[in-house]
Every structure is written in structure tokens, then in C-alpha cells.
Amino acid sequence: MVNNDVLVDKHYGFGGIMEKIEVGLNLAGKNIDSLTVNDLAPVDAFHTRGRESTLEVAELANLNKSDLVLDVGCGLGGTARYLAEQYECNVIGIDLTKEYVSVGTKLTELVGLSNMIKLCHGSALEIPFEDGIFDIVWTEHVQMNIADKKRFYSEIARVLKPGGRLLFHDIFRGMGDSPFYPAPWAEDESISALVTEKEARSTIEQVGLEIDQWIVKVEESIDFFERVSAQIEDHGPPPIGIHLLMGNNAKDKLNNYVCNLSENRVSVALGIAVKSNV
């Protein structure tokens, strides 16, 4: 593994995640032996607006059950389980963080979806699959940890079938001052590789993917965090949520992210791009 990969694995996979999730589920009154995909959504959709945004991304693609999906940087596999349950698709996920892959595999077993989902350890920069086999490549909140954007999007384009679709939801550098850290994806700038929306769009197009929709979601994201903060103010932090994945300074990371969005230090957008048919 190259140095950045080691740092990313350490940032996300700090140990004890399965235990934290089990404690949270217990406190939330969920029985681990009869878990549903929805029970896990508060913690396994580790991206802005959680499951709410997963649904919006999925709706862009008109998915059907014959689609083979690759989730690049799948984290705990929450999206894979949602797509397998909702659209009956087979989904493969790859992720650099070993602990996420093993916890995600366990969670998939617990909800009874192991026959449709395989999560593997691997790098987005060396996707361990042959050319042109996926109908859909999905990626949410991953490229901000990857400096080599050209290689990231080239690998995605390579494994897509002709006519295949890239679905994405990502954080970008805004036009304001430098972002505050720690942020959910990085303690400091060392593993943060933000580029502007314009730069990302240009790289996506350079690798032969045509952007069909690009939808900025900054306002919705700020509104979401305001709603969550109000709930925490009234009822305290929920027993199960993405704060379990962010270590002891989760509150600082989330507060900084909201400031970064509000002050245009970062932006967030989702969309779809299509590989040409030839």
C-alpha cells in the first residue's frame, strides 16, 4: 500500500467499529438477530444527508435488477444493501479500509443479503476487475481522499460497459477561503484532495464520460444539518449515527463541515455521467 492508502485506512478504520454499532443498535432497541437494512441506515450511509441523498442518486439512474453495480469506496456497504434490497441488483463494493470491509460483510450477513453483495478490500486507483463489465459504477464521498483524479475517473470509465453510467455524490473545493479541519474525511489537509466542481467536471469528461446531470446540493445539505442539530439540542445525540464513525472529535468534524458549506469553502453535488456506446 502506498503511504496515502495507509493514512486513509487509519483515518476511517480506527478499530472497534462493529462493537460501537452493536452497542448503538442495542440502545436503539434493535435486535441484532432480526436487523433490517433500514435499521442500519443512520450509520452505514456515511455521506452528506445519509440515506436521503442515496435515494436521490439512485433515482437518476433508472436502475433495474439486471444491472451489475460496483460501489467504489463502498464504506460499510450501506448503499450496496439499499440497492440490493430496493432494486434487486447484484452489487460489488471495494474499499481501502479493511475494517469497513469486514464490518460491512458482517452487516450484510446479518440482514441476509450475502447472496447479492460482495464487499472486497481494494483501491479505487487499481480496481480489481476487468474492462467493461459494470452497468453502473456508484461513488459517494470518496474522491476527496484521492489526489490522482485522472486515474480515479479513468479506472471507473475502464470498468464500465459502453453505455454504462457513473452515479456520483461528492464534496468539492468551494470558491471561498481554505476549508476548516478536522473534517469528516480528514483530520488535516494531508489526506484531503479537494478540487473545484469545474476541475472535477473537466477530468470526468477527459476520461470519456459525458455528464448528463450535475446537481448542486449545498442548500439542502445545510438545511439537513440544521434539522439534525435541532434534534440533538432537544433529545441529545442518537444512539446510532455517523458520529460513531468519526472518533472522539466527531462534533468538531461535523461543525467544521457545516461551516465549510455555509462559507462556500466546500460544495457538494450529485449527478450522473454516461460512457459512450462506442
- Residue 97 vs 135, nearer CB to ligand SAM: 97
Nearer to ligand SAM, 25 or 171 (CB): 171
Q: Which of 40, 61, 69, 78 binds ligand SAM (CB under 6 A)?
A: 78
State which residue, 141 or 158, has the beta carbon closest to ligand SAM.
141
Stretch that binds ligand SAM, among 96-104, 172-180, 200-208, 217-225 (CB under 6 A): 96-104
Residue 246 per-residue DSSP state? S
Contact call for residue 99 and ligand SAM (CB under 6 A): no
Count of helix runs (H) and strand runs (E) in the chain: 10, 7
How many CB atoms neighbour CB 74 within 10 A? 30
Shortest gap between Cβ of 274 and ligand SAM (angstroms)?
21
The answer to whether the bond into 239 is cis (omega within 30° of 0) is no
Residue matched to cell numbers 452493536: 22
Smallest separation, CB 254 to ligand SAM (Å) = 12
Minimal distance in Å, beta carbon 98 to ligand SAM? 9
SS3 of 172, please?
Answer: strand
Strand-pair category, 68-72 with 90-95: parallel
Does residue number 240 form part of the binding site for ligand SAM (CB under 6 A)?
no
- Residue 209 makes contact with ligand SAM by CB under 6 A: no
Segment near ligand SAM (CB under 6 A), from 16-24, 121-129, 192-200, 215-223?
A: 121-129
* Cβ atoms of 242 and 178 closer than 8 Å: no
Q: Which of 49, 51, 81, 141 binds ligand SAM (CB under 6 A)?
A: 141
Considering Cα of 79, then 84, then 16, then 122, what sign does the dihedral take? negative
Cell for 180? 476548516
Q: Is 100 in the site for ligand SAM (CB under 6 A)?
A: yes
Is there a contact between 246 and 240 (Cβ–Cβ < 8 Å)?
no
Rg (C-alpha) for the chain, rounded Å, is 18
Residues near ligand SAM (CB under 6 A) are: 8, 12, 45-47, 73-75, 78, 94-97, 100, 123-125, 140-142, 145-146, 185
